[in-house]
Amino acid sequence: MKIISSRVVTVLVILQMIFVPPSVANDQPSAGLPFRDIKGHWAEAEIVEMYARDVIKGYGDAKYNPRKPVTFLEAIAMFNKLLGYVPSNSDIDESSISGMFNIPKWAAGYVELALRNELLHYSELQKISLQQPLIRQDGAVLAVRALGLTKRAGRMKEAVLPFNDVLQVDQITKASISIAVERKIMNGYPNGIFQPSSPISRAEIAVLLSNINEQIPFDDSGQVSGLIKSVDRQKIVISEIYGDGKDTEFSLPAQYISYLNNRPASVDEMAEGNFITIISNDSLGLTVIIAQKVIPDLIGVEQVDPAMEPDDIREWVEKSKASENYLFNKAGNQLYLLAARGGKMTSGFFVDITKVSRTVDEEGVYYRVWIDLTDPDQNTVFIPVITYPFTLVKVELLQGAPGTITFVDKLNQILAETKI
């Protein structure tokens, strides 16, 4: 089965690589775990997930060394694997940078691919040559490149960061940090600082890569994702929402590793409606089951004509639809949601808000808005008329609580996120 691989989680449970509590791992092997020093570690689930995806490896003594800083070179290899960039023999044999920059032969192919795909710049090879650790601000830069948001970062000339140590941030990395924070890939520390020059540990890089993976869809025949329809000790029936939409029955193997809300858990603790991802890596003989308990409730939406709405809403739509925008507005107890694609030279471009979910907890209200973006077929013949495709819907607004609105495409990649 070939489906979209994107471990999607709801807005309430998006992972962050921000806190670095001390590892509570013991030094004894645990049945099923690939490393003997990650049991009970705060990043255990992400480490196991990235291992199952063939993104990270451990050491010969069956340890992962989660506290050890990851080097810039190691991070480049990991990012390549996450993005599916696999070096060929020619990438390695024809590499001319190995001797020039003291790059091990095993890594030369990854560096060549990273340069070719603009994940790495030639000016950064010195960091690899000196075997420098990957620091937090550079991790943000790599994350933005991996997400294909480099051009957006280049347009953010006046990025503002909400951290007390912003003066310590390299100017050229500010936009990348801003995007990484916006996307919930990275964040600051509880005392309001970012620590841009602090090394990223091997535990933190696993969480960072996991966060990025949630927003990068790619084909992967070894993964099943969807909502649990039923579960017992023999099998899990999953309603796929990113593949062909059909139910899939997954028979549980004799041995597997399972997590619920990023904590070790048995399948008995999982229930109908949980979002689940199952990664089966035959070469490793490893199956990992990752479930998220909190699933937002879908709410009713009403598609509206702005001409029939209050004057301020109509003016807001007219002003906003000329650019690509994903915005909200409020009027009384109504929450207006706008998705606009800007000026397009054909009527073959469309945008639609397909569904809206709302989750409420003690911290506030979270809205998730799914957007369907449709482009004309490349072979379509059309008259080049400028159009402004947009859609406007309204939902009931819950009053008196802070809120967050996240716009995502049909593959659950975040398009925009804002506070109410």
Q: What is the pLDDT of residues 332-353, one digit of tens each?
A: 888 999 999 998 878 788 899 9
Which pLDDT score, from 0 to 100, does residue 349 have? 87
Whether residue 282 is found in the same domain as residue 322 = no
Which of 195, 216, 237 delimits the end of a domain? 216
**Quick one: average pLDDT of 171-195?**
91
- Cα separation, 377 vs 401, in Å, equals 43
Which pLDDT score, from 0 to 100, does residue 75 have? 97
Which pLDDT score, from 0 to 100, does residue 296 have? 56
The confidence band for 294, taking pLDDT boundaries of 50, 70 and 90, is low
Count of CB atoms within 10 A of residue 109's CB? Answer: 24
The confidence band for 195, taking pLDDT boundaries of 50, 70 and 90, is very high
Whether residue 189 is found in the same domain as residue 239 = no
Q: Tens of pLDDT along 25-63?
A: 333 334 589 999 999 999 999 999 999 999 999 998 999
Whether residue 388 is found in the same domain as residue 406 = yes
Which of 192, 216, 240 delimits the end of a domain? 216
Q: Tens of pLDDT along 116-139?
A: 999 999 999 988 888 899 999 999
Q: Tens of pLDDT along 99-114?
A: 778 888 888 899 999 9
Percent of the chain past pLDDT 90, that is, above it, reads 49
Whether residue 405 is found in the same domain as residue 391 = yes
- Cα separation, 105 vs 92, in Å, equals 7
Q: Which has more pLDDT, 220 or 308?
A: 308
Q: Going edge to edge, which strands form the sheet with 324-331?
A: 302-303, 390-396, 334-341, 324-331
Q: How many independent structural domains does the chain possess?
A: 3
- Cα separation, 81 vs 192, in Å, equals 33
Whether residue 34 is found in the same domain as residue 145 = yes
Q: Which helix (H) or strand (E) holds 79?
A: helix 72-82
Whether residue 284 is found in the same domain as residue 302 = no
Which pLDDT score, from 0 to 100, does residue 3 have? 31
Comparing CA positions, the residue from 37, 10, 17, 34 lying closest to residue 25 is 37
Whether residue 205 is found in the same domain as residue 136 = yes
Q: How buried is 402 (Cβ within 10 angstroms: 0-12 exposed, 13-18 middle, 19+ buried)?
A: exposed
Whether residue 162 is found in the same domain as residue 223 = no
**Quick one: average pLDDT of 60-71?**
95
Beta pairing, strands 223-231 & 218-219: unpaired
The confidence band for 8, taking pLDDT boundaries of 50, 70 and 90, is very low
Least confident of 21-25, 79-83, 169-173, 280-284: 21-25
Whether residue 260 is found in the same domain as residue 360 = no
CATH label of the domain that carries residue 249? 2.40.50.320
Comparing CA positions, the residue from 238, 222, 277, 262 lying closest to residue 412 is 277
Which pLDDT score, from 0 to 100, does residue 417 have? 85
Which of 237, 265, 292 delimits the end of a domain? 292
Average pLDDT over the chain, rounded to an integer: 84
Q: Do 270 and 291 contact (CB within 8 A), yes or no?
A: yes
Count of CB atoms within 10 A of residue 300's CB? Answer: 9
Whether residue 163 is found in the same domain as residue 260 = no
Which pLDDT score, from 0 to 100, does residue 216 have? 77
Distance from chain centroid for Cα 376: 27
What is the token pair recorded at 270? 């999982």
Domain span holding position 205: 4-216
Least confident of 55-59, 153-157, 164-168, 373-377: 373-377
Count of CB atoms within 10 A of residue 226's CB? Answer: 24
Which pLDDT score, from 0 to 100, does residue 26 have? 37
Whether residue 313 is found in the same domain as residue 348 = yes
C-alpha radius of gyration, the chain, whole number: 23
Which pLDDT score, from 0 to 100, does residue 5 have? 34
- Cα separation, 242 vs 347, in Å, equals 27
Checking if the pLDDT of 355 tops 80, the result is yes
Beta-bridge partners for 225: 277
Whether residue 238 is found in the same domain as residue 375 = no
